[in-house]
């Protein structure tokens, strides 16, 4: 009976981890992936299409304002700035004349790429951390800590029985 209880306690952490993974899997192709594709686009119309798709998802899911922070606010967690910046980028793409020179078009696409991608450790899209679980960041963080404690208790219960 103790092993079953221990396994159930461990399972709560696995379920929490699964939720985080699923949230990321849903966010990435619907928003993050389109943002990356906009950054990689070789033409203005293609970049517009991908950026518009990402913005449509953001607006549908109400990812337009707020912060992903839980304890204290930092600028990289500002969803409003991120959303406004992407909208401004789309407007810049729309403002490019079809008769613009190839150099002008390339400069706009290069600026878009620099806006959408972070150049830290490798290349990644610029998104507020924890955006995939927004607006439930506090609940998800609390559940992560709580289920981690349950995980530790479950492991102790299972391994304590093995010593006998």
The pair of structure tokens assigned to 126 is 């610029």
Burial letters for 140-150: b for 16+ Cβ neighbours within 10 Å, e otherwise? beebeeebeeb
Query: pLDDT tens per residue, the chain (164 residues)?
Result: 888 998 999 999 999 999 999 999 999 998 999 999 999 999 999 999 999 999 999 999 999 999 999 988 999 999 999 999 999 999 999 999 989 999 999 999 999 999 999 877 678 899 999 999 999 999 999 999 999 999 999 999 888 866 55
Can you tell me whether residue 61 is helix, strand or coil?
coil
- pTM, two decimals, is 0.85
Residues 6+ apart with CB under 8 A from 126: 35, 82, 115, 116, 117, 118
């Amino acid at each position: 009976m103790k092993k079953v209880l221990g396994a159930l306690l461990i399972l709560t952490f696995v379920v929490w981890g699964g939720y985080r993974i699923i949230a990321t899997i849903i966010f990435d192709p619907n928003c993050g992936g389109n943002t990356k594709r906009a950054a990689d686009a070789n033409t203005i119309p293609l970049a517009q299409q991908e950026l518009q798709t990402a913005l449509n998802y953001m607006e549908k899911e109400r990812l337009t304002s707020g912060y992903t922070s839980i304890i204290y606010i930092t600028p990289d967690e500002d969803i409003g700035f991120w959303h406004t910046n992407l909208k401004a980028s789309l407007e810049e793409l729309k403002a490019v004349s079809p008769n613009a020179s190839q150099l002008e078009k390339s400069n706009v696409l290069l600026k878009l790429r620099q806006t959408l991608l972070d150049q830290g450790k490798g290349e990644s899209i610029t998104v507020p951390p924890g955006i995939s679980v927004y607006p439930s960041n506090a609940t998800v963080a609390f559940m992560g800590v709580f289920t981690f404690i349950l995980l530790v208790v479950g492991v102790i219960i299972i391994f304590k029985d093995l010593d006998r």
